[in-house]
Amino acid sequence: MKDFTTGNVSKLIFNFALPMLLGNVFQQLYNIVDSIIVGKVLGKGALASVGASFPIIFTLIALLIGIGSGFSIVISQYYGAKDIDKVKRSIDTMYIFLFVSGIVASVLGIYHSEELFLLLQLPVELIPQATTYLNVYMAGMIMFFGFSGTSSILRGLGDSKTPLYFLILASLFNIIFDLLFVMVFDWGIAGAAWATVIAQGGAFVSGIIYLNRTHKIIKFSLFKLVFDKEIFLKSLKIGIPSGLQHTFVALGMMALLGIVNTFGTDVIAAYTAAGRIDSLAMMPAMTFSQAVAAFVGQNLGANKIDRVRQGFKATFIMSNLFCLAMTALIIIFGSDMMKLFTNDANVIAIGERYLIIVSSFYLIFSTMFTTNGVLRGAGDTLIPMFITLFSLWIIRIPGAYFFSSKIGETGIWWSIPLGWSMGAIFSYLYYKTGKWKTKSVIKV
């Protein structure tokens, strides 16, 4: 556990973010390895089917992820205030919520899978494979929630190293199972999904066993969990706006995919592969946003506003330096990266155009996420929700529809940085008002 309320600000945030960044990279390897093996072994149709599944998965779990982040913020602020009893009760309440939610999400996803793909205008020939992948993935959703919840709790307590170790373990097993199920057992696209589910489940169970034996605060017992209504309502108050924000983003991804799907299998496959690379490249900005949120939560809980401002500036600089490096790597090696996923020349060319356009605006993406990280850490999630709603549904989606009708799929790629730009501008303007300081659970 790490105390962010004393010590060098930049060093604290960087040392906390680095293991978390490595962990997020390994977590992304789940999707990347799936896509590489599926694309190379099963072809571009299977690759497109996997890509079509993820916006639906994200949509089904987005609200719950956001509410879970509300719990993490509450845990962080209680820990900053040194109220350990409230920390323990918050952890129990979070687990109960996540397990129930995981079961509900699984049932909904499996029951409506084919209808959702038809709604998104996925080419008919891709629907059987896409449905198979989605159903298997959703069957293991409770493991995903358990593993993600445990990682979020540890990060709220300032521990970013333990989640890293179990993410590395899960990623290695995912690679092994992918190769075994797809290439040796010939299970097809279902094998890739089962590899991820089993790897996540193994990491969750291993993590709980380890924490029960070693951790001072987290002692998980399914039959001894205590639900605290007051903490649950506080977490909902913070988490629902964030959850709605995640949901708007997820629905935006589905809407964007609906536009992409109208351009056929090659564009869907390129969008899938380039999106995997893009997600990995954006990890530094997203990770520093998580780190500064934990930092802000503890320092607001300790009533140290000056350190919050220092944390924002330090995170802004570090995140942008990483993003500049990611942009350079993608512009130079984008084509080679696409070749990891497919041998199809047209798919590679489409994906490379996507990467060059989007990666050129990573600095704007970083600015938006750093600012939102400060707001989330303070417990102010309502305004960022409205900003996300505006930038996504008023700017990005209409822009994708309009530009793609004029210049083809490239217009969809240009709509992405356009939405980021509007989000970054409005988030920073709101940060400058200082109103976020009044939203803390522990009154400042």
**How far is it, in rounded angstroms, from Cα 222 to Cα 95?**
9
**How far is it, in rounded angstroms, from Cα 279 to Cα 346?**
22
Tell me, what's the pLDDT at 443? 55
3-state helix, strand, coil in the chain (%, to 5): 85, 0, 15
Contact of 77 with 298, CB cutoff 8 Å: yes
Q: Is it the case that residue 171 has pLDDT exceeding 80?
A: yes
Mean pLDDT of the chain: 88
Tell me, what's the pLDDT at 374? 92
Q: Is it the case that residue 152 has pLDDT exceeding 80?
A: no
pLDDT tens by residue, 242-294? 788 778 888 888 899 999 999 999 999 999 999 999 999 999 999 999 899 88
Q: Is it the case that residue 219 has pLDDT exceeding 90?
A: no
pLDDT band (50, 70, 90) for residue 10 = very high
Q: Which amino acid is at 439?
A: K
Tokens of 159: 């521990």
Q: At what angle do helices 305-338 and 362-377 cross, to 10 degrees?
A: 140
Most confident of 76-85, 352-361, 387-396: 352-361
pLDDT tens by residue, 41-80? 999 999 999 999 988 888 888 888 888 878 888 887 888 7
Tell me, what's the pLDDT at 326? 96
Helix (H) or strand (E) holding 13: helix 9-37
Alpha helix segments (H runs only) across 262-304: 265-281, 283-301
pLDDT band (50, 70, 90) for residue 206 = confident
Q: Is the pTM of this model over 0.85?
A: no
Tell me, what's the pLDDT at 47? 93
Q: Is it the case that residue 139 has pLDDT exceeding 90?
A: yes
- Backbone φ and ψ for 20, nearest 5 degrees, come out as -65, -40
Q: What percent of the chain has pLDDT over 70?
A: 98
Q: At what angle do helices 127-139 and 84-111 cross, to 10 degrees?
A: 150
